Amino acid sequence: MEKKLYVGGLPYSTTEDELRELFAQAGTVESATIIQDRTTGRSKGFGFVEMATPEEAQKAVEMWNGKEVGGRTLTVNPARPMEPRAPRGNWQDRR
């Protein structure tokens, strides 16, 4: 199993520190990132956690996938590599 995990279904008020503390219950957290909307800066309700070892990542999946946190059910699974996206176009072309 990979060490990097996708965490979906996060309460929108969750901070990166809270996410780190939550997953620290399964082992050593190397990084915890919550994805934010570029325009508003608000959480999109998902993020990524990187655990120190694949074994700790597996433990975190078993511990948190399907569990309720802050009234929302978490989805925790190994993160997939980001797929290439089509260019959105040059912002100058939108005038």
The answer to whether residue 91 scores a pLDDT higher than 90 is no
CATH T-level fold of 4-80: Alpha-Beta Plaits (3.30.70)
The answer to whether residue 95 scores a pLDDT higher than 80 is no
**In angstroms, rounded to a whole number, what is the distance separating the alpha carbons of residues 66 and 7?**
11
Residues 34, 7: contact at Cβ < 8 Å?
no
- Residue in the block written with tokens 């120190």: 52
The 10s digit of each residue's pLDDT in 3-45 is 999 999 999 999 999 999 999 999 999 999 999 999 999 999 9
Domain boundaries, the chain: 4-80
DSSP E strands in the chain: the ranges are: 4-8, 29-36, 43-51, 68-69, 72-73, 75-78
What pLDDT shows up at residue 2? 85
**In angstroms, rounded to a whole number, what is the distance separating the alpha carbons of residues 61 and 5?**
8
